[in-house]
Amino acid sequence: MMLDWLPPTLIGVLLVLAGVGAIRRINLWRAGQAEEVAILAGLMAMPTRYLHDLHHVVDRDKYISRTHVATGGGFVLAMALIVLVHVFGVNNTLLAWALMAALVMMFCGALFVFKRRLNPPSRLSKGPWMRLPKSLLTFSVTFFVLTLPAAGILPDGTGRWVFTLVLSALILLSLSEVLLGMTWGGPMKHAFAGALHLAFHRRSERFGGGRSTGLKPVLFSDNDAVNKVHGVAKPSDFKWNQLLGFDACVQCGRCEAVCPAFAAGQPLNPKKLIQDMVVGFAGGSDAQYAGSPYPDGKGGVQEVGYAKGGADQIITDGLIHPDTLWSCTTCRACVEECPMMIEHVDAIVDMRRFLTLEKGDTPNKGAQVLENIIATDNPNGHSPESRTYWAADQNLALMKDVKKAEVLFWVSDGAFDMRSQRILRAFVTLLKAAKVDVAILGDEERDSGDVARRLGDDATFQSLAKRNLATLSQYRFSTLVTTDPHAFHCLKNEYGDFGSTALDGVEVLHHTTFLNRLVKEGRLRLDTFKGGKVTYHDPCYLGRYNGEYEAPRELLASLGIDIAEMERSAFRSRCCGGGGGAPITDIPGERRIADMRMEDVVSTGAEMVAVGCQQCTAMLEGVVEPRPVVKDIAEILVGQLVEEVH
């Protein structure tokens, strides 16, 4: 009895089935909203994005990057050759040898996958993922044996029919995992969805070393949109390529490991959130999820299996609790760590927009803060006429009077807060010492809209942005400097969407960048710092959002400070807990994020933590004493300023 036809037929049938699965999966993504994507250019760019950008992130963990290169590379090569050798029956010894080499490579890689799964860290998902290395090993061994005759090592027809049957069973087993699993929703789905996600990514500017962190605006002016729901209520309200992005998740849990809210025991786990989104658009429940659940905020966890969703069901109505969305500090640590380049923060803010704009359901102080911002242009409801009180003794020029200046100092809402005013004064002292031609907007300035936008109120953000831009457009200045990284991010990355020319040709800078230039130009004379050990905390909106890690460090180095770096610093910096409106929505957890960050500081043995953000200053100073001193870099510099005596 000859069964030689069986293996090729099996492979062929499974390939066709995988194709059917792919079409089904694509249709699931198509439930999302339309979004313009350069399809061809994206597909062409995909290999570079994969080999360069994605691998760059994976490579932060050398063990898994090498394992992945061997396993993934071996598999792709082997699969292509299997089609040639076993399906089309190309009779070429060289090809057969190449196939066997690829399988050996894959086998070696799979061994390391297997090893890591022996005692997996808690961030990794279990369940079907535990089966994957075994399937990969089976795949490589099975096809190795199957290829032996083609390579001329074993004579043709060696296979007795029993032997062929056993091989066929193994083929069925392993190909089901790696081919069917790819498109019908197994662990290997990440390869299929991930590749397409890279090609059709919503922020293609991120690839090739670029940066894209500004949120996309909600469309209000569009008349058709007035009767449409704003923000994301149902999975089908996401853009189709966002849905595709969720599907790309490999459940590696790197996001979970860096998420400050998860660490604080707040009900958020970025990995689970993305998996819930997949449950949302694919329909069903989260019973299959085998990773860490959401904490419940009281020291326990939320039980898995009860969340249900569908493409047209309201997400916060049974799939995820709104508190999960409000726990996020928008620190982007998850996005920075995600090897699949998934945009968690975009999704979270999209869903918050629905809760705020459509349901009017911003928790805790959220509603009050938004109302204040609407009525007074600042979050605490202070009189707009009192915005410049802090500068009563600073003799600062007002743009209203001078009309133009070299530098416009964007004061931000720190103007109303006594602690932040110390930072503002310090910065002004430095500007004056360097004889910078500077002016402020005074009472004409408004909140940058950062908090409103992160809380989902894009209407208020856009209103503030447009009014601020209108004000800015009346004056001439070449540089805009601010001490607030949140305002910095809005002005630099988010105000561009509103068709104003006010900031064209204007360099928007954070004060640390600007001061660093002054120091380098020799315009500030500074003494050596003789205090104790100093560490530096990277603000999320300066670091991860804007890539500025160097200027603050160079500034501290210019004072002769040798920074005692925290374990989590620069792009891995842990959030202070003050971003994204998190202190306003104040979702309960087991610990406070600021406390954990202060523990990081303490573990360096530093006596002072340098900060470049008034929110971070407020959060870290809120930690009970005894603790290291918290100072903005401007304040540290002022302490070392050598005043010229005439």
Partner 1 sequence: MQPNVNVVSLVSIGRHPQSGRARRAEQDGRAVELGLKLVQDKLTLLHAGNAHETVLRQYAGMGLDGFTVLPQGEGDDAVPVLVAYFKANRQHHSRQIVLTGVNAESGESSGMLPYLLAEQLGWPIVPRIADIVRVDEFEAEVLLALPRGQRRVVTVSLPFIASVDSAAQEPRQSAFARGLRATLTTLDYGSRVDDAVSHWQVAPAKPKPKRLKVVKAKTAADRMKAATAKPVGGGGKVLRNESVEEQAQAIFDLLLEEKVIR
Residue numbers at the binding site for partner 1 (CB under 8 A)? 220, 226-227, 229-231, 356-362, 366-367, 370-371, 374-377, 381-384, 457, 459-460
Q: Indicate the residue among 79 and 357 with the shorter CB distance to partner 1.
A: 357
User: Which among 490, 418, 410 has a CA at the least distance from the CA of 451?
Assistant: 490
Task: For partner 1, give the closer residue by CB, 121 or 360.
Answer: 360
Supply 465's token pair.
């942005």
**Is the CB of 141 or the CB of 367 nearer to partner 1?**
367
Instruction: Determine contact, residues 99/147, Cβ cutoff 8 Å.
Output: yes
Please identify, using beta-carbon distances, which residue of 327 and 356 lies nearer to partner 1.
Answer: 356
**Is the Cβ of residue 382 or residue 400 nearer to partner 1 in the bound state?**
382
Rg (CA), the chain: 28
- Please, which residue, 53 or 323, has the CB nearer to partner 1? 323
- The angle at the Cα of 298, spanning 294 to 304, to the nearest 5 degrees, equals 30
According to the 3-state scheme, what is the secondary structure of 113-132? HHHHCCCCCCCCCCCHHHHH
- What residues contact 281, with CB distance under 8 A and at least 6 apart? 28, 29, 31, 32, 235, 236, 238, 243, 246, 309, 311
**Least distance from C-beta 380 to partner 1, angstroms?**
10
Describe the strand order of the beta sheet including 608-611 as a list of residue ranges.
534-537, 608-611, 629-632
Task: Considering the complex, state which of residue 381 and residue 496 has its C-beta at the smaller distance from partner 1.
Answer: 381
What is the residue type of 391? A
Q: How far is the CB of 457 from partner 1 (least distance, A)?
A: 7
Cα distance between residue 32 and residue 240, in whole Å: 4
Starting at the edge strand that comes first in sequence, how are the strands of the sheet with 397-398 ordered? 397-398, 438-440, 407-410, 479-482, 507-510
> Smallest distance from the beta carbon of 551 to partner 1, in angstroms?
32
> C-beta of 471: minimal distance to partner 1 in Å?
16
Beta strands 438-440 and 407-410: pairing type? parallel
**Paired tokens of 51:** 């080999």
Q: How far is CA 100 from CA 97, 114, 140, 609, in A?
A: 5, 20, 9, 56
Q: Give least dist CB 315 to partner 1, A.
A: 16
And the tokens for 526? 């500074």
| Residue in 562, 356, 365, 384 with CA at minimum distance from that of residue 453 | 356
3-state secondary structure of 606: coil
The CB-of-462 to partner 1 minimum distance in angstroms stands at 11
Contact 204, 42 (CB under 8 A): yes
Nearer to partner 1, 358 or 565 (CB): 358
Instruction: Kindly tell me which of 90 and 375 has the beta carbon lying closer to partner 1.
Output: 375
Q: Residue 449 Cβ, how far from partner 1 at the closest point, in Å? A: 14
Q: By the 8 A CB rule, do 454 and 487 touch?
A: no
Nearer to partner 1 among residue 337 and residue 377 (C-beta): 377
Q: Which two tokens stand for residue 362?
A: 């911003």
Any idea what DSSP says for residue 455?
T
Q: Which is nearer to partner 1, 312 or 358 (CB)?
A: 358
Closer to partner 1 by Cβ: residue 12 or 381: 381
From the CB of 192, what's the least distance to partner 1, in Å? 36
Residue 580 CB, nearest approach to partner 1 (Å)? 18
Cβ(577)–Cβ(615) under 8 Å?
no
CB of 238 to partner 1, least distance (A): 17
Find the shortest distance in angstroms from Cβ 460 to partner 1.
8
Q: Cβ of residue 233: shortest distance to partner 1, in angstroms?
A: 11
Q: Which is nearer to partner 1, 12 or 622 (CB)?
A: 622
Environment class of residue 41 by beta-carbon count within 10 Å: exposed (0-12), middle (13-18) or buried (19+)? Answer: exposed
- How far is C-alpha 403 from the geometric centre of its chain's CA atoms? 40
For partner 1, give the closer residue by CB, 386 or 473. Answer: 386
Q: In the bound complex, what is the minimum distance in angstroms from residue 326's beta carbon to partner 1?
A: 13
CA angle (486 as vertex; 481, 491 as ends), nearest 5:
55
The residue written with tokens 């290997």 in the block is 188
CB 447 within 8 A of CB 387: no
Output the smallest distance, CB 446 to partner 1, in A: 11
Strands annotated E in 187-309: 284-285, 308-309
In terms of Cβ atoms closer than 10 Å to its own Cβ (0-12, 13-18, 19+), residue 453 is buried
